[in-house]
């Protein structure tokens, strides 16, 4: 079922629900500049066998409002949108699964609205905490000195995005996903081509936005709140992630009180078919345990 939610004055967010209405809600929050269609269908279906699954388009993605050029917003506003989606669908509490920027938004909700969450799963993201990372040998690393984004990816992001037509945009997205995937698993070109085409068809055009990269991001740290949370939390470690490489996931698991850590073999900063089954298994094991 598809539905639009009024998240703020002039802001409408596209949402989709799948699964039985009487099961516990599970909200999927995608990364920067990624629409809800970025969650692969087999993963959504696997989760929807046990949950009322909700995915949605961020502002400036998919079928939601694209307001940034006229009305710039903050990353914090994107976190408020998470609560607006729950409110708009009449959901008091939900499991939340966030990837990349979505994982940061999930941390902000975890910190600011713990009463709205049944559990949190954080995928391929970085801790919103200034707590140092404690290495296995007992040494510490300041949070701001953890490994950075892979140079190949930074070079790709530095290139201007030019409109050379739909086919060229699909190819650009495929090559972007190839770098994001990290190289430990064989790259499934066909699945990422299908995904890129589905996103464009869903959106209705092939234009891209850089709004989330330009949005004000000050005030995102939640060090104390994450260290004292009682929300059951799971961190997914993607060993091939070129955006937040290890030990980012290990650091995140240290920063979030009581968090468990599960590694998905070969996973990078993308969701190819090979990782979907183990990822669904990890998420459902966590939400099932949180249900008690």
Q: Which domains does the chain have, with CATH numbers?
A: 2-291 (3.40.50.1820)
25 exposed, middle or buried (CB, 10 Å; 0-12, 13-18, 19+)?
Answer: buried
pLDDT-derived band at 271, boundaries 50, 70, 90: very high
Query: Using one digit for the tens of pLDDT, what is the confidence trace for 175-211?
Result: 999 999 999 999 999 999 999 999 999 999 998 889 9
Q: Which of helix, strand or coil describes residue 180? A: helix
Query: Using one digit for the tens of pLDDT, what is the confidence trace for 32-88?
Result: 999 999 999 999 999 999 999 999 999 999 999 999 999 999 999 999 999 999 999
pLDDT-derived band at 223, boundaries 50, 70, 90: very high
Looking at the predicted structure, is the pLDDT value of residue 292 above 70? no
CA distance 223 to 226: 6
> CB–CB of 75/53 below 8 Å?
no
Compute the residue count for the chain.
292
Instruction: Say what the pLDDT of residue 160 is.
Output: 84
Please enumerate in sequence order all residues whose Cβ is within 8 A of that of 76, keeping only pairs 6 or more positions apart, or say none: 108, 216, 219, 220
pLDDT-derived band at 164, boundaries 50, 70, 90: confident
Q: Which of helix, strand or coil describes residue 212? A: helix
Q: Which residue has the tokens 């650009």?
A: 172
> CB–CB of 47/283 below 8 Å?
yes
Inter-CA distances, 239 with 113, 222, 258, 260, Å: 30, 25, 21, 16
pTM listed for this prediction: 0.96
Query: Using one digit for the tens of pLDDT, what is the confidence trace for 84-96?
Result: 999 999 999 999 9
217 exposed, middle or buried (CB, 10 Å; 0-12, 13-18, 19+)?
Answer: middle
Task: Give the active site residues.
Answer: 100, 241, 269
Looking at the predicted structure, is the pLDDT value of residue 291 above 90? no
Query: Using one digit for the tens of pLDDT, what is the confidence trace for 109-143?
Result: 999 999 999 999 999 999 999 999 999 999 999 99
């Amino acid at each position: 079922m598809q539905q639009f939610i009024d998240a703020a004055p002039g802001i409408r967010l596209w949402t989709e629900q799948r699964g039985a209405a009487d099961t516990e809600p599970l909200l999927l929050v995608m990364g920067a500049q990624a629409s809800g269609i970025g969650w692969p269908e087999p993963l959504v279906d696997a989760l929807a066998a046990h949950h009322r699954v909700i995915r949605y388009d961020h502002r400036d993605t998919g079928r939601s409002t694209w307001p940034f050029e006229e009305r710039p917003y903050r990353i914090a506003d994107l976190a408020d949108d998470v609560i607006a989606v729950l409110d708009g669908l009449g959901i008091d509490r939900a499991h939340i699964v966030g990837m990349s920027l979505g994982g940061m938004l999930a941390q902000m909700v975890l910190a600011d609205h713990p009463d709205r969450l049944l559990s949190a799963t954080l995928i391929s993201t970085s801790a919103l905490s200034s707590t140092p990372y404690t290495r296995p040998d007992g040494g510490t690393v300041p949070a701001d000195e953890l490994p950075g984004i892979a140079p190949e990816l930074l070079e790709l992001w530095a290139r201007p995005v030019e409109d050379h037509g739909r086919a060229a945009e699909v190819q650009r997205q495929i090559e972007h996903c190839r770098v994001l995937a990290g190289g430990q698993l064989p790259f499934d070109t066909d699945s990422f081509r299908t995904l890129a085409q589905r996103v464009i068809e869903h959106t209705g055009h092939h234009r891209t936005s850089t709004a989330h990269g330009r949005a004000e991001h000050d005030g995102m740290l939640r060090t104390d709140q994450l260290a004292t949370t009682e929300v059951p939390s799971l961190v997914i470690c993607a060993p091939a992630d070129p955006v937040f490489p290890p030990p980012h996931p290990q650091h995140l698991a240290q920063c979030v009180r009581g968090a468990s850590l599960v590694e998905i073999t070969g996973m990078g900063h993308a969701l190819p078919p090979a990782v979907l089954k183990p990822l669904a298994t990890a998420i459902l094991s966590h939400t099932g345990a949180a249900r008690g």
